[in-house]
Structure 1
Amino acid sequence: MSEPAGDSSGTSARTGETAVLREAVDRLRAEADGLRRAMRSRGVIEQAKGMLTERLGCTPDEAFGHLVQLSQDTNRKLADIAAGLVGIAAPLEGDTAVDEDLPVPGPVTAPAAVPPRLQDPHPPVPAPPAAARLTPVPGLAARYHLAASALAGADTPEELARLLHEVALAPLGVLAVVLGLLEPDGALALVGSHGVEPRRISQWRRIPPETGVPLVAAAHGGGMVWEFDPDRPGERPPDTGRIVPGRIACAVPLRRGDRIVGAMSLGWEGRADRARAASRYVDALANLAAGHLLRVGAAGDGGPGLEVPGGEYWFRAVLDAMYAPVLVLSAVRRGVDGGSITDLRVGYANAAAGPGPAEGRRLSELHPGLVASGAFERILGAAADGVPYEGWTTDFTRPDTGAAGRLSLRAVPFLDGVLLTWRHRGGAAERAARLGEAHRLAGLGSFWWSAGSPGLELSEEALRMLGLDPGRAGATPAEVLACVAPADRPAVRLLARRLLAGQRNATLEVAVGTTGAGPRTVRVTAEALTAPAGGPARTVRGVVQDVTAWHRTEQALTAARARLAEQRRRAGAEHRMTRALQSALMPTPTGPDPSASGLDHAARYLPAGEQPRVGGDWYDLLPLPDGTVLLAVGDVSGHGVAAAVGMAELRHALRGLCYTGAGPAAVLGRLNTMLCHQGSRHIASVLCGLLDPAARALVWSAAGHPPPAVLRAGTAALAQGPAGTVLGADRATAYRDAELALRPGDTVLLWTDGLLNRREGGSGRPEPLLRAAEECGATALADCLDHIVAGLGGPNPADDSCLLAVRLPPAVEPGPGR
């Protein structure tokens, strides 16, 4: 079916109207773009007009005509001519180009697109010192002034990054630009970029301060950070998280005055020497971009990192509403290339920080007491390391009163500095907190009751001791009584009645059952306040103390004292019984007196200094039928009744064997056989000797015992002979006799080891005993033995001992006529 003729003509008309509208829109867009480009360069053109007006003495219109004429004569853009002239008047540091020789930049065109390289990042390399840099690239001053004019027209961070690249950096071979702002916690938020793949920006949208990425290093270090791609793979550094593409990357801090607000990263594909030659130009561009980035950020949607809270009025209003003083501090660094932090400058001080202007002053000047106390260095460390600091100082002068005080400090990293807050210690709240801590440590709680109140007011510690919720305000008398053990409730009721009746004070210990900790004992000390004339109590107040540990300790101490008294009673009884048994088993020798044969003798038995320790030391002196005299000392192992019984058995067995006429070695051998055969629990050391006074000879044998000593003419010496093995240790042991020839007046000494082996000062060697014997001279034997014991320190506190001495009669000198 064919269409009506009228419909075809209407469609043609609508198509023509659409074409006209499209042409109008394109024309308006072109005009807007032209106006935008004109506005970008208007600032530098106006600066050039002013410079020519001043130097040529002409009007602004004539100066503009001169610029137009120069543009036509040189076939260059008017903005390029103006930027070149301004660059001559205000050159960058190191830019030495002059008017005609200045290679004013031509049309700005971006280089061919290079795919961004998402990998192959490298560690930052610091920029070389100024003396080591290559000759600066000429004409940068003109390019800088063009950029300054163009950036003023940017409305968003993305547009700012694009204009930076197109107007100022693309002619140097820069591929990409990334802009980041510091956030209050020290992280870096990427807010604008150009020439970087969006996915890459999304992955690095917010960079924590501890990552070590060059952007973060520049923002926190305050200096330019370079990153190169070595030509030789063997020198390739490890991955550092490069964001921008290219063989060379550079991160530059963004400064606003003396404060670092962020960082800028650039990526090059050209030569490293050309990139480093533009270092000062790039640093100047970074400072220029910092102000514009803060401007477009504040005018935007207020996203992360766009607004700097330290300078915003809403942020200051929040700080002013706080009771605690707060200082917003920015870092002051040594030098301009990111030196160490030397001080902190006050950006804002809230109302609680004290009277007087503080903004702009350094912290060391505002509060010098912090420097003297050492807290200043720790605050600088918090700004440098990004780690919060909390501490206190006693050397602080209050700016409002001038008085010294104690200060609690807290410094939290904020942007490139810190937020510093403090409070003066010693206020009412802190005293109450310290009192509460003291109550908790001492196990003290308090309570209060007044007439007409529904219950008792209890402190947190008192509630905790009773097993109630510490967060509640108080408790009723019934609730408190329910916490007391049933057996103690009548005493509590009686105490309450007496206090309410007017008794001034009372103390009571009761058991309370707390959950999870078992029953505890608390001591209640209460005081009743009455009217001056007396009567019922108006107020009852008191303290509750947890005495569970003390009560348990007292009970344990009482039980320990009872056990100790019982042990002492038993030890005393055992000691008395052992003494009696020892006296019964080892009586004073009876029978023939050795003195009949002219022998002088003396003995000492020395019990241990500690009362319960009765041992098995013994001695024996017995004349035998054949005219010889038995000399013996011995020591049975152990202490107490068992040792005393073993000593008696051994002593009487030795006496019986000596009556058989056997020699000392044979006697010891048979004693050893007896102990080994009986399976005795004891071993024993014995020295057995048979003294023949007529022949002046001593035959002796030892079983694990020291040999006898002979004191002759003031000199004491040990006899030489076999030592032997202790009795009861080895059935196969054989003992041998030794014979000692004596002279008239010789003294023979025998002793047990307890006399020499001491815990303090006793080595067991016989030399001290021999020296003490030599000091006796010709004194009586009893006095000699007392002198020896005194010289060795008296009785041994830990062991009993024996000492036996026999002295031969002196030689009889022939009388006259014989």
Structure 2
Amino acid sequence: MTGSAGYRGPPRGALVDPGPAALTAENRWLRTRFARRHLLDLAAGMLAAQMRLPPSEAAEYLDSLSQATGLPVEDIAADIVNAVSGDGGPSVTAVPGTDGHHLEGLAERRRARRTAAAAEAADTAGEAARTLLDGGLSALGADSLWLWRRTGPGCLRLIGHAGVGAAEAVAWQWIPPAAPEPFRTVLADGTPVWLQDGPADGSPLPGPSARAARALLPLTRRDRAVGVALVGWPGPTPLDPAVRRAVAGLLEVAGTVLDTEETDPTPAPVLVDVLDALAHPAVLLRLRGPHGTASVEHVNDEAVATLGSAAPAVGASLARAFPLVHTELGRLARRALSTTHPQRLARLPVAARPGEASPLLDVRVLPAGDEHAVVLWHTVAAPGLAAARAVARLQSVAPFRDSLTGGETVWAPQAYGILGMDRAEAPVPLPDLRDRVHEDDRAALTKLLAVLTERQAGAQAVLRIVLPDGTVRHVQVAAEPLIDDGVVTAVAGVYQNVSDSRRTEAALTATFDHLTALHDQSELRHHLALQLQQAIVPEVPGLQELPGGLVVAARYRPAAEEYRVGGDWYDVLALPSGKVLVAVGDIAGHGIDSVTGMVALRNAQRALAFTGHSARHLMGWLNEVTLRTGGGTTATAVCALYDPQDHGLVWSSAGHLPMLLLREGRARLLDPPQDILLGAVSPFTYREQRIGLRPGDTLLLYTDGLIERRHSGIDEGLTRLAGEAERLAGRETDLLVDELLRTATGDTDDDTSIVAVHVRGGQPER
């Protein structure tokens, strides 16, 4: 093939055992060949029309031009299409010039035309977006591309993106008619909007920062506006006329590829949020009928990180997403939907071959409604590096070592928190944990010890540890024997708190198991909301370290009545600016609508916080989100930003309870600005206040479930909370929130969230 490059297929007659890398390369080669054929056919068609030649003679004339000029046939084809399209290309019979600027301009136009041809040949809008970004826009400094299709009067749906994280794509999946001003301008006027320093009015738009450059262009099809494209740059960027022409030229084909995308229902945002919260890979599949095709509808960040360049695109078929195991995965998914029970396999593919990529381990396929299934798995990389990364990421991992000859046991400090013990107690050898293990798991502990000491082999087990307060914690024990002269002299290993992942998986499994088994729709909705909220708003185990010497502990307690699920949420997040977001909120009402609204507001607040704007601006935008997506719902919230540079905390409140500051053993309520609830009126300008935090200070944020009583006022509940906080002053931060939650006087059967933020550097915690 003249001028082609890349993978050319296997040698003729060779016997090949294709692994994932080879299949990916072959697929890329086939797509390149298809895009090349598309460009050549387009050029030949233009020649045939201009020169009144049959199509076969036009193709031969194209080859003769390539031979006469010495240029690749693809370059000749690109020049012809550019010339006919009025892009300033040379005439059909022109001889290439020798001027450097002229040649550089020709090369740029040819590259743009080849990129456009490849995008037009894409199967999905997502593939087209990646082609346009990688083949053309990235050379202009852009790092992201979004494609929305118009689905109604002023409403846009995201159907393709590149250079964008999965969570951010979910947050901008839909743009309602009350869109930010730049979107409305493009849709109303049909003209591009160029923002070299970001939107002047601070309108929230996708991108890394408020001042990052963006370009919004209308996408047309047959002279009709069918969507909007947004090109993003990593920071402020001059968008001169040459850049604007290049961007507009590349995106001319985007309106065409919008029509190639199928109209699929958007995956439920609650379910997407759950999958994105998982610490292991997950993919959401959609199956069309018992024997129809399966396609990828969502890929979480862990799956993208695990699969790398082989990560499937949203909208890709199952065969393209997992070429080696798609048959088995499809069978498991259809069986899961037909039986309404999870399906499991130890590994896929079942038999590994030399040179293949790591298999999918512990594969679970869960039914999620009538047409959707969730695929969960684990993977394995280089043991040393994988272990180092895992330990660095997991706060609930603690190494230990038991000496069987000297009787000495050594624990890492985290082990005390994992096993619910005071640090003043002596470490307990693994065999002596029997009294703390749930009676149903003691046989598993005995088997684990037998493998270590009798078989002298490594082993692991998940044991339920009964804590002093009666609660149960799932702890995974992984250990290896230390052998000297054939005798086991010690055992070394780690304890890991896996309660959160167990709760999340149990919530998913329990929820999906009941989707078809329960017939009472009201009960189903409430039960689903309860399970998902427990998975979405988990406790923060132990203490969480954040920039600026902050230590955070957070707890969530669901309502006492099983189906009175509320909309409590909290968030503690380190931002790129160096500041720390601390927020608590409570949506009015109960049930799945409250949980869905909670997820929307929590995700919106997270995304808006990355703009770097003040607390009052974030609250104002959150009010607009509540008005436009809440269906009449209202909510209270407090949003605070802590700056480690000057130790200042600036906060804004929307009708929420006052924060409580615990300083030098004294508790003080911080009266918030008397501003209205979220979702009450629009527009509304929220106020903000500032306080300087000192080393040793502890700040408490909470929801009304902690203090409300049926037969007393809010003021009495706040007074009781302040008294309890002073009584417990000096406790470790995690013990402080546990004790406050245990002694909470609220009796309204409402959800309760509590977040404690402690500034290190004061008196040592006791």
TM over 0.5: no
Question: Normalising by structure 2, what TM-score?
Answer: 0.30
Question: Normalising by structure 1, what TM-score?
Answer: 0.28
Instruction: Tell me: higher relative CO, structure 1 or 2? Use CA pairs within 8 A at least 6 residues apart.
Output: 2
